[in-house]
Chains A and B, each alone.
Chain A
Amino acid sequence: MTASVAGATAPRARLARTARDAAVTLPFFGYLTVFLFLPTVIVIVGAFRNRDGGFTLDGVSKLFTPATGQIFLTTAWLSLASALIGAVVGAVAAYALSTVPLTSPLRRVYTAVSSVLAQFGGVMLAFAFISVLGKNGNFTRLMADAFGATVPGDFLTSVPGLIVVYCYFQIPLMIIVFLPAVDGLRQEWRDATENLGGSTWTFWSRVAGPILLPSFLGSFLLLFANAFSAYATAAALISQRTIIVPMAIEGAIRNENDTGMDSYAQALAAGMIVVIAVVMALYAALQRRAGRWTR
């Protein structure tokens, strides 16, 4: 309707109309310019500027020192391990959950719990794990009473400890992002496999496996990016040391003595953007492949 009316009027009027139509979206894009695009630009440009606004590679060059490299490696290792465990366990759980009817209370509670733990927990998850594995934690006491085994006092602040805690939001995240994919598995495909003489193994290895693989890898990348950007949980557990990139950023922002630290923080943040951008580009490519089977 709009098109036919616009087509009948002169091009000038059409242009004016388009401009007026576009103007309505200005508040939205204006707001995002200030609070989303501008901060991103500040980070990327700031990585190459010193306090006086001149060009510098100081911040970026600090990225390639052994200490910073080690922090990036630790973060990557932590993200990789927790994403792997989370993806495998979460995928199996998502499949099991997909066999439960959509409206059953079990499924509603399960997805709600997963959603909260995966996305909104942060600090609270850290406290939960202190009450499990801390000095007076439930599990610590259980181990001590039953087997006389002690959980090391610094377990929660070590990388293996962080992996365990991270799994507590990675597994739920996998459940909610992978559930739509396993929900899309059709009974007909299973029936067809059976009618053609295929076993359950055939179904999983030759039919469902290849269909789910892109979604699985995509979800895995999402989990990796999620762990890579997580800050709150680690910050609540570890106060003195800097072991992951977000903590290094915090240290650099809060440092008031060294003015060069501003550009270091921005360079670290830009480094994170690069890592996440690569991961998300891969994710988008996989998503396109997965999309073939989701309609």
Chain B
Amino acid sequence: MSRAATKRARQRWLRVVVLGLVGAFLAYPLYALAEFSVRFPLTGNYSVDAWTRLFGAGDGARLQPLYTGLINSLGIAALTLTMMFVLLLPTMVWVRLRLPRLSRVVEFVCLLPLTLPAIVLVVGLVPVYRFIATQVLDTHAIWLSFAYVVLVLPFAYRALDSGLSAIDLGTLVAAARSMGASWPTVIGRVLLPNLRGAVASAAFISIAVVLGEFTIARMLARENLQTGVMLVNQAAPQVAAAVSLLTLLFGIALLVGLSYVTTPHRAKKRS
């Protein structure tokens, strides 16, 4: 008994030390970011000036790229989510029901963007976007959504896949169809309510990806939140620090919230 007790104590000790040290390494830069945003570099005085400026007190002209970027990024996030769900969810449902042999292909294709660096993808996207901007649409930043759908695909796929695996898809669809429901009704009113957790999960992660994306926007010379932060950093580094911190904390809050959606109450007992 005492041997087991020492072992448990040792394990607890290891857990505290390791998680404490790594946690400190992860948290320290976030703390420094917060301090940087309120500390005036030359004098060392503290003031919340950067934060009041950020929330609208004057200085609109210098912070303009930031506001433009934020508005663009929110719009892009909304459009990306819509397109992603419209393209992905019906396809995944259909493939599971009717074309099971295709499911490996869909999985492979969806996970492909994980291995394709954004910087490589954008090299190939330059001509595609040149065509879109001149022949089809315009150069507005909102069309970055087309590329972002590809970026969020792996994350969304994994979330939706685990959601679809957890429900009895065939029975639900057969029941709804035999009652005369159309396919849109099946997806909107039967499947979506059963997939709330997975859909929320896919949406949250996708929002985090879109708000943090920089590479593609920069190379295609479109303005989003990150390129805005980058620009503002030259004129007002403290404001840029404040925005970075807020964005990171927002992302963390999204994902913590998400973990409560996906594993709500009691844990599955670890075997």
Residue positions of A touching B, CB distance < 8 A: 1-2, 21-22, 24-25, 27-29, 31-32, 34-36, 38-43, 46, 89, 92-93, 95-97, 99-103, 106, 108-117, 119-125, 127-132, 135-139, 168, 171-172, 175, 183, 186-188, 200, 225, 228-229, 231-232, 235-236, 246, 249-250, 253, 265-266, 268-269, 272-273, 276-277, 280
Contact = CB atoms under 8 A, between A and B. Distances in A.
Nearest to B243: A124
Contacts of A35: 125, 128, 146-147, 149-150
B30 A128 contact: yes
B134 interface: no
B271 interface: yes
Nearest to A246: B119
A124 B99 contact: no
Given A28-B88, A138-B31, A36 B113 contact: yes
Nearest to A230: B117
Given A121-B212, A229-B120, A39 B125 contact: yes
Nearest to A47: B123
Given A93-B18, A108-B259, A116-B255, A127 B87 contact: no
Nearest to A105: B256
B116 interface: yes
A148 B214 CA distance: 37
A27 B87 contact: yes
A196 to B, nearest CB: 16
Contact of B109 (A32, A96, A97, A138): A32
Given A101-B267, A122-B214, A269-B120, A131 B33 contact: yes
Contact of B116 (A100, A172, A273): A273
Contact of B270 (A36, A110, A139, A183): A183
- Give the most central of A111, A127, A231: most B CB within 10 Å: A127
Nearest to B36: A131
A2 B254 CA distance: 41
B36 A229 contact: no
Contact of B32 (A22, A32, A131, A183): A131
A266 B33 contact: no
Interface in B1-52: 7, 11, 14-15, 18-19, 22-23, 25-33, 35-36, 39, 41
Given A34-B128, A136-B36, A138-B31, A116 B120 contact: no
Contacts of A2: 97-98
5 contacts: A42-B128, A96-B15, A120-B208, A120-B212, A266-B124
- Give the most central of B109, B209, B244: most A CB within 10 Å: B244
A112 B259 contact: yes
Contacts of B267: 101-103
Contacts, number: 253
Given A24-B90, A136-B41, A102 B263 contact: yes
Contacts of A129: 29
A41 B31 contact: no
A24 B91 contact: yes
Contacts of A99: 11, 15
Contact of A231 (B7, B117, B146, B240): B117
Contacts of A236: 214, 230, 233
B104 interface: no
Nearest to A29: B109
A246 B229 CA distance: 20
Contacts of A40: 116, 120-121, 124
Interface string B238-271: 0011001101100110111011100101111011
A41 B124 contact: yes
A257 B208 CA distance: 37
Given A35-B150, A43-B123, A93-B22, A123 B91 contact: no
Contact of A116 (B95, B109, B208, B265): B208
A31 B148 CA distance: 12
A273 B32 CA distance: 36
A276 B115 contact: yes
B91 A38 contact: no
Contacts of B192: none
A123 B226 contact: yes
A36 B256 contact: no
B18 A92 contact: yes
Contacts of B265: 103
A4 to B, nearest CB: 14
A96 B18 contact: yes
B71 interface: no
Contact of A36 (B98, B112, B230): B112
Contact of B244 (A39, A93, A128, A269): A128
B126 interface: yes
A122 to B, nearest CB: 5
A97 B19 contact: yes
Contacts of A132: 28-29, 32
Contacts of A39: 121-125, 128
